[in-house]
Chains A and B, each alone.
Chain A
């Protein structure tokens, strides 16, 4: 691992986001959707509580839809226009390239998330929320976004077609969310042994994010997201290494 190279690749990648309207469009849509879902679907005012629970609870679903739109280009675009041959014949290791690209996408998502700070100001203006819980929510949401991005990055390494990368990432992401969703778990619990149901649920982003977004920062939840990110990025590196030229 060469930290300098990771940084150079990350810097180039982020520059790429802002060279086209992609970054601005994404941020605007993300903010519109979080705002809309918090105030209208989440009954932000009607609940009469000064917290951001409605805001955070929608994040897994938003990410399922929006994160693949960021991650789809990470490797597919390199494959499509052949620049992967350039990148992989520069003196950088595959790991550096994988990390640089992932960190760029993650930092960008972090920025989009951060731009929701007016919501935080709003709840503090309206009442006196537990800012520790809100902070935990942002941390959890950021970690979860990293998980989705790692999935998407790995999948985009397989194909030079961004549409395929988008759809497959969306499906895999959805599976990772749905496996913790009430209806799905009810379906399993009617016939499957409890340990299996628990295992399925423990693989879900939802289960781990829910605890953090309620302010419970459990080391196990953090570790869960960290391992999801590492496992998918490792797979990403293996895929790139094995099929650079395909």
Chain B
């Protein structure tokens, strides 16, 4: 069975407020699903329902084939969960805390010791194992939460903003850790840090106002940007007006935009096609000297804004 998480028409209403409103998707083994959306879009609420913390208003959640409503304990046993803000028992040490989690997860003896050691090592908290959690920095608290989630090597990981509040080095470490585990797990991470879309995810689900607005690969998400395959080009010693009118005359160019903050102009292709080769060829035919030329992939922040603000 490769489908590890199956969600169908999931909804959670708080009175009049539809926090999550008919969300369906599934996650396979080996997939890292980036759950994107603005604050309050319903990301955490969805995760709380997958992990059995919140009861859905309607819809079903199955984790490794177990239904969260009829068999919550089996669902909880097969997943590791890092709740938002990485709550832990503040007066315990990471060592005591992880041992407690290992006990509850049914690990004993050498198996338990190995699980605690390995989780601590992978989350890089071995040197703070005997300090009370309340004295640790935000970054370490988050890593303790991560160690707790991966302790029993679960087939499914649900991580709610795993890199929130970490410095760039720590973020990198956490991403490396998630990438290392990705192959044999199904992982959902929620984030509003768009650079993680490329650093981590094989697939993205973008939600806003409790509804799914996009479900596809990071590349597909980027290609929705109007900057997708746009080319920024500058040439030496040619008057801008001449340059612009020439570019506009090319059949594959949709629009030319002059840039205020950098040299050159941005050329938008027709129908989002790749035009780098044709464009540079046309310039060479003209025997103009190219100063710089590069294609843009698309801007996730712009796509994010367009999709989430679109019909808000």
Q: Which residues of A contact B91 (CB under 8 A)?
A: 16, 19-20
**CB closest residue in chain A, given B48:** A245
Majority-rule SS of B interface residues: loop
List A residues 87-120 near B (Cβ within 8 Å): 88-93
Q: Of B53, B73, B92, B100, which contacts A91 at CB under 8 A?
A: B73
B interface size (C-beta, 8 A) = 27
Q: Which residues of B contact A82 (CB under 8 A)?
A: 83, 85, 87
Q: Which residues of B contact A83 (CB under 8 A)?
A: 87-89
List B residues 116-143 near A (Cβ within 8 Å): 132
**CB closest residue in chain A, given B158:** A89
Knowing A16-B91, A81-B87, say if A8 contacts B104 (CB, 8 Å). yes
Q: Of A8, A12, A81, A90, which contacts B90 at CB under 8 A?
A: A81
Q: Which residues of B contact A88 (CB under 8 A)?
A: 52-53
Distance in angstroms between the alpha carbons of A93 and B83 in the assembled complex: 18
What size tier do the contact residues of chain A reach?
20 to 34
In the assembled complex, B54 has its CB within 8 A of some CB on chain A: yes
CB contacts between A and B, total, < 8 Å? 66
Q: Which residues of A contact B132 (CB under 8 A)?
A: 19
Majority-rule SS of A interface residues: helix
Distance in angstroms between the alpha carbons of A178 and B244 in the assembled complex: 91
Q: Of B54, B83, B87, B89, which contacts A12 at CB under 8 A?
A: B89
**CB closest residue in chain A, given B73:** A91
The answer to whether A86 and B87 touch across the interface, beta carbons within 8 angstroms, is yes
Q: Of B81, B87, B89, B100, which contacts A8 at CB under 8 A?
A: B100
In the assembled complex, A161 has its CB within 8 A of some CB on chain B: no
Q: 10 A–B contact pairs at CB < 8 A?
A: A12-B96, A20-B91, A81-B87, A82-B83, A83-B87, A85-B53, A86-B81, A89-B52, A89-B53, A91-B104
10 shortest A-B CB distances, which residue pairs? A82-B87, A91-B77, A91-B76, A8-B103, A19-B91, A85-B83, A89-B51, A83-B87, A12-B100, A91-B73
